[in-house]
Chain A
Amino acid sequence: MGKNVTKKRPVRKESADALKKFKKKPCSFCLSKSEWIDYKDVELLRRYISDRAKIRARRVTGNCTQHQAEVANAIKVARELALLPYLARPTSSDRERGPGGGRGRSGERRVRNEDVDDTVVSDDVDQDGGSQDALQEGEE
């Protein structure tokens, strides 16, 4: 068993390094040294909302804490002024009717699935979970 663990360790270290590289994404507002994110700049703000008009998470946008807060605030102001939607339906027709037929509970489930799609960065989570699983299997 001990042999197996030592065998797996270098693999885990590698994935940790890969994670580190992946997270090095500079905040675009810090790069441009912006001091004021305008609520009127609809084109800019649209990049930070999903197709359901939800504000994109920081881990998706890569913004720093301060600028993410400013973006979120600007989006909320723009929503009040009817420049951005509070909620929106995805326009593509394949999402219109899912496998469940498009009514009732199946519809609810579909919404939840899409929410997950929106917010989770698949690479990030998969790598982490995958390596842990591998480790556990090795120990067993």
Chain B
Amino acid sequence: MRTYELALITDSSIEESVRDGVTERVESIVVSAGGSLGEQATWGRRSLIYPIDHHSEGFYSFHRFQAEPATVTELDRVLSIADEVLRFKIVRLPERAMQSGKAPLLRGAAR
């Protein structure tokens, strides 16, 4: 089991229910593969530094989870197909920092 963090930028113009659908799909993939979800943070609407697919704004959310490496490949596949997702990135968090609690999830910074 390894700890990962998923950064998700979804279309800011879509409805809340559609966005929840994306996170639910992520959750079900992680849980069904035997992983578990951790903290999450929502920054909300934030202007992008440069336009992505002609969007100047995105909805930022971050999800931490524990899973096997194979789960990440599956998430990669699903998220790259999802239309609502402008961009995503899954980062592996270093074990040492997780144990010492030196990698807190930043919550603020919504601009």
Interface of B is mostly: strand
| Contact residues in A for B89 (Cβ distance below 8 Å) | 77, 80-81
Q: How far is the CA of A33 from the CA of B96 in the complex (A)?
A: 12
Determine how close the nearest CB of chain B comes to the CB of A29; give it in whole angstroms: 11
Q: Which residues 30-86 of B have a CB within 8 angstroms of A?
A: 48-50, 52, 58, 60, 62
Q: Which residues 22-48 of A have a CB within 8 angstroms of B?
A: 33-36, 38-43
| Contact residues in B for A34 (Cβ distance below 8 Å) | 102
CB distance B94 to A82 under 8 Å?
no
CB distance A85 to B103 under 8 Å?
no
CB distance A35 to B106 under 8 Å?
no
| Contact residues in B for A33 (Cβ distance below 8 Å) | 102
CB distance A36 to B93 under 8 Å?
yes
| Residue from A36, A40, A41, A82 within 8 A of B9 (CB atoms) | A82
CB distance A82 to B87 under 8 Å?
yes
| Contact residues in A for B50 (Cβ distance below 8 Å) | 82, 85-86
A84 adjacent to chain B (CB < 8 Å): yes
Q: How far is the CA of A85 from the CA of B47 in the complex (A)?
A: 12
Q: A38-B106, A42-B109, A82-B58 are in contact. List 18 more A-B contacts (CB 8 A).
A: A33-B102, A34-B102, A35-B94, A35-B100, A35-B102, A36-B93, A36-B102, A36-B103, A39-B7, A40-B62, A40-B106, A41-B106, A80-B89, A81-B60, A82-B9, A82-B52, A82-B87, A85-B50
